[in-house]
Amino acid sequence: MGHAMMDKFNKYWEEPNNVMVLATFLDPRYKMKYVDWFFGQIYDEDKAETELSAFKKDLDKLYEKFDSQKRQAEPQCKNTCNTSTSMPPADSEFLSFLSSTSTKRSKSELRNYMDDANEGMVATFNLLEWWKVNALRYPVLANMARRFLTIPASSVSSESSFSTGGRILDDYRSSLKPYMVEALVCGGSYIKGAHKDLNVLVEEDDEEEDVEKVKLPKSVADCNY
């Protein structure tokens, strides 16, 4: 059973999952500094540099995607505002300048987040509350946090992968505490084992009763040994 669990674990975790790394990056207590440090702990120097570079590229692409979605969702007032002849040419040119520099200005949000000091390692720190408070400061990253910090740690329940007795958790029992699930699993196993032992005893009793019910010939029954 242990080897099967390890094979299953290696199947899903042998290669780094950048989604999990991104969730760590979006924790203001860790950010990129923790990712850089942790890669150095689990990889050699060359491998750590390669993985960190790959993650940064994925992060930039993902950030640009969320930033583009945000800009498309914003009211395009500057493109639809009244641009009649009453507007001075200088103002019109300035609006065009703002439009062309909006992407560069937005990209600084990611850089500012990484450059800002990490939050303290406080036991009572509430990650989701922090992003709620700082949503106006980091609007694009806040949308990313809303998306990626809600991903469960595992897409398949552990009992479904490793249990030989079938699924234990369902829609009605998914809110049970871990210790209660353990109690139910162990209790069910003990009960099933007790039933097996009881069935063996019943079968033995039935065999004894069958032997007692066997009618011996009168000549054999009258024999004295």
* Structure confidence at residue 212 (pLDDT): 54
Residue for token digits 């949308």? Answer: 143
* Structure confidence at residue 161 (pLDDT): 52
Q: To the nearest whole number, what is the mean pLDDT of the chain?
A: 75
Ranges assigned E (strand) in the chain:
none
* pLDDT digit string, tens, across residues 99-109: 666 555 555 78
Torsion of CA 182, 185, 187, 190, to 10 degrees: -130
* pLDDT digit string, tens, across residues 127-164: 999 999 999 999 999 999 999 988 565 555 555 555 55
- Residue 26 structure tokens: 């979006």
Q: Is 15 helix (H, G, I), strand (E, B) or coil?
A: coil
Which of the 8 DSSP states describes residue 173? T
* Structure confidence at residue 103 (pLDDT): 52
* pLDDT digit string, tens, across residues 91-130: 777 777 766 665 555 557 899 999 999 999 988 999 999 9
d(CA 145, CA 143): 5
